Amino acid sequence: MTSKGSIFKNQSPWGSTPGGSGRGGNGSGSRREPPNLDDVIKNFQNLINKFLPGGKSGGGKSIVLILIILLGVWAASGLYRVLPDEQGVVLRFGKYVKTTQPGLNYHIPLPVERVLTPKVTKVNRIDVGFRPASDTGRTSGVADVDEESLMLTGDENIVDINYSVFWVIKDAQNFLFNIQSPVETIKATSETAMREVIAKSPIQSILTEGRSKIEVEVQTIMQGILDEYQSGIEITQVQTQQADPPEQVIDAFRDVQAARADRERSKNEAEAYANDVIPRARGEAEQVLQQAEAYKKEVVAKAEGEASRFLAIYNEYKNAKQVTQERMYLETMEKVLADIDKVIIDKESGSGVVPYLPLPELKKSGSNN
């Protein structure tokens, strides 16, 4: 967790580094007292008397000279520099006067005005639910803080969640004057927002794909609360470090997760089989429909052709009945005789021929058919 004292170079308007007393650089600190003016004048007078002619006889002129020198030194002490990652907040007798930007600036020297220079671009981090090894004195690992990390989910389960909040100062004036303990305020706000979001979410979503959505919702709620406080703080990111069931039930939860994974795998296999069979069946059905449609068109076209042919023959028959009958007779005999074996015997040369019926060949041809 970021030390609150590292944000400031000077004292805060509260008389100590923002955050109150306690750990993390929040001690009261010591005020920088101005030098005793009488002692300074006396020392300078003694120093100049050694070099001025006449010793102490020229005391009046030497005092004036000393005062002029001291006044120049005091006026020059009002120059101050604001670094690129800072903003200068000028206080006059403890009251806010103005905010200055990076660069060389001037203010009325102490004790009239003083300047605070918080680092406004530095990204600060607060860990909730755990403490890094550097904060606990360990060489490695983290220390869980159960009172911060254990939360009740929307489906009445308990989840152990650790997360980090990253923030910067967006308004130095509000940051310095509207909240006394920024780190504690941000931490309490983050816990409030996280518990609200977790209470509306099922544990399965928290442990899997819902983390990014939860982080965004928590950041939005936190920013709204801090803006209501006019804290001058901007939350840049909420990052989930770990989200697991409590240690006492984690083995049972993993068994449930494995069963759900098996269910998903079986479901995916069934969907893959369905995606293979259904399109093929649809293709076969479409093929049958197309064949039926083609057969339909073929039959209809054939029937229409036969009807047209009949009408044509009928018209010819009305015009020439005898010729049409003979032609139809000959065409019919041509079709009949074309498919049978036949022997043509002339009347004159075929006298005395005994008709012969080849029964064995007929039986063979009948069995082959």
- pLDDT tens column, 2-44: 544 455 554 556 555 544 433 333 333 334 455 565 676 677 6
CA–CA distance, 190 with 196 (Å, rounded to integer): 10
Distances in whole angstroms, Cα of residue 206 to Cα of each of 156, 223, 337: 13, 21, 89
pLDDT digits (tens, 9 = 90+) for 232-252: 999 999 999 888 887 777 777
Cis peptide before 246 (omega within 30 of 0): no
What does the block give as tokens for 344? 């043509």
Does the structure show a pLDDT above 70 at 56?
A: no
Element at 113 (helix H, strand E): strand 113-116
The CATH H-level (homologous superfamily) assignment of domain 124-245 is: Band 7 domain (3.30.479.30)
Owner of token pair 């028959």: 317
Check: CB of residue 119 under 8 Å from CB of residue 7: yes
pLDDT score of 20:
42
What does the block give as tokens for 75? 């006026």
Percentage, residues of the chain above pLDDT 70: 74
CA–CA distance, 20 with 24 (Å, rounded to integer): 10
Phi, then psi, of 86 in degrees rounded to 5: -125, 165
CA–CA distance, 44 with 363 (Å, rounded to integer): 153
Between 306 and 2, the higher pLDDT residue: 306
pLDDT digits (tens, 9 = 90+) for 318-366: 888 888 888 888 888 888 878 777 766 666 665 666 666 666 766 666 6
Closest CA relative to residue 21, chosen from 259, 241, 180: 180
Closest CA relative to residue 23, chosen from 137, 168, 108: 137
pLDDT digits (tens, 9 = 90+) for 86-124: 878 888 888 888 888 888 888 878 888 888 888 888 899
Mean local confidence (pLDDT), 274-288 = 91
pLDDT score of 51:
53
Spans of all domains in the chain: 8-116, 124-245, 259-340
Does the structure show a pLDDT above 60 at 144?
A: yes
Is the whole-model pTM more than 0.75? no
pLDDT score of 114:
85
pLDDT score of 113:
80
Sign of the dihedral through C-alpha 188, 189, 192, 197: negative
Which residue type occupies 324?
T
